[in-house]
Chain A
């Protein structure tokens, strides 16, 4: 497929990327049979589609995504869940008794999967159990940096887990829960996560994160 950019070139909204309008992927749009960039980011061809990996982008819920949410309202027919920023998810439970029996309260942090997202709002899958998170540090980072935090096949997140011994629950919406053996370990994990958020698009990050963790935890 002929393209008008070099791999990983920084593109800006409106920039022409390709003449093949059928291959329009994330961060791009097709108009008049051509593909243009819709966001600032790195352009690349992935799985035969032109995509733009944005530097900043709000989280867009997709079915199957695991997210961390905060219960914000209990209603007769279900729950409302705050997913950060502009997003509200809903858990639909037809029976009132069942709502009460879940034991969820306003303010509870839960780890859930998204069932669908569209005109009906963001609906949360209740078949794959709603998991209530009992304790931990809840932090929020920019959703666009989540792939970097996880790393290639989970390399980055596993690095932090290994060094700090913390359990880390990552929601695709940018909410992260860190649960560790000691406050020091938890704070070290938070610092590492924040470092990844700030320096997401720089090279040699893995080494720097490793160095930071070693410093904080004294040799790891």
Chain B
């Protein structure tokens, strides 16, 4: 078995009681913390914690598209940057965008494009920045969840929020919301993002192998986690504005 730098592979990832390396049940999410509107200088922002994974997302726009020739006459362009801070991983990540970060930026952008009404802002651009403060597995899903909250906070019209989590196979068991160790030493890792209102999948990737039957069960498990996250997202958004009263607007 391949060993990565940092923590060596634990002997077992799931113990005899069916508990995982961090004590969770296979279908349990990590403790989640969400906050909306954490930054003052951006139009919308959100902070999310899934266990040790900490992500901040900020949205600017709609603003003028630059360079000008990229602007579209009938809709806005969505720019997305997923970036991991140098201190987010065990061994310092060099500055700049790696191949992986460029790919994830694209994947997150394409998922967000499915729910935002970009045709509301012709010739404009909307910027989404996802910054990973600390990485402990599932950063793209946390980033996407945070980005959709930040977009909603910025007042960009959207069809639905996006909630995302990963499922995977670890020591032959299907587990929800993988942490870093499970991701590295498990057999499969499958991040899933959905627009839960319409039950539509907006992102799905799979690393590793799963049987067809396992895949179906994994997807159902992801959906269960996503619905929990979605509920929290709506609560946190409503709470932020709950002290406001609708007087003579």
Q: Which segment, of B15-23, B138-146, B150-158, B203-211, faces chain A? A: B150-158
The reply to whether the CB of A203 lies closer than 8 angstroms to some CB of chain B is yes
Interface digits, A135-178 against B, CB 8 Å rule (1 contact, 0 not)? Answer: 00000000010011001100000000000000000000000000
Which of A8, A40, A58, A60 is in CB contact (< 8 Å) with B153?
A40
Are A202 and B157 touching (Cβ within 8 A)? no
B25 to chain A, nearest CB (A): 29
Interface digits, B214-249 against A, CB 8 Å rule (1 contact, 0 not)? Answer: 000000000000000000011001100111111111
The reply to whether the CB of A10 lies closer than 8 angstroms to some CB of chain B is yes
Are B159 and A29 touching (Cβ within 8 A)? yes
Complex interface: chain A residues within 8 A of B65 (CB): 86
What total count of A-B pairs have CB within 8 Å? 116
Q: Which of A17-45 contact B (CB under 8 A)?
A: 27, 29, 31, 36, 38-40, 42, 44
Are B157 and A27 touching (Cβ within 8 A)? yes
The reply to whether the CB of A77 lies closer than 8 angstroms to some CB of chain B is no
Which of A10, A16, A38, A148 is in CB contact (< 8 Å) with B159?
A38
Complex interface: chain A residues within 8 A of B121 (CB): 58, 60, 86
B195 to chain A, nearest CB (A): 7
**B76's closest neighbor in chain A, by CB?**
A86
The reply to whether the CB of A12 lies closer than 8 angstroms to some CB of chain B is yes
Complex interface: chain A residues within 8 A of B125 (CB): 86
Contact A86-B124, Cβ < 8 Å, known A12-B161, A54-B155, A55-B241:
yes
Complex interface: chain A residues within 8 A of B61 (CB): 58, 86
Hey, which bits of chain A sit against chain B, CB under 8 A? 8, 10, 12-16, 27, 29, 31, 36, 38-40, 42, 44, 53-58, 60, 85-86, 88, 118-119, 121, 144, 147-148, 151-152, 200-203, 205
14 sample A-B contacts, Cβ–Cβ < 8 Å, listed by A number: A13-B115, A13-B159, A14-B158, A36-B159, A38-B159, A40-B237, A42-B249, A55-B244, A58-B61, A86-B63, A147-B249, A152-B248, A201-B247, A203-B245
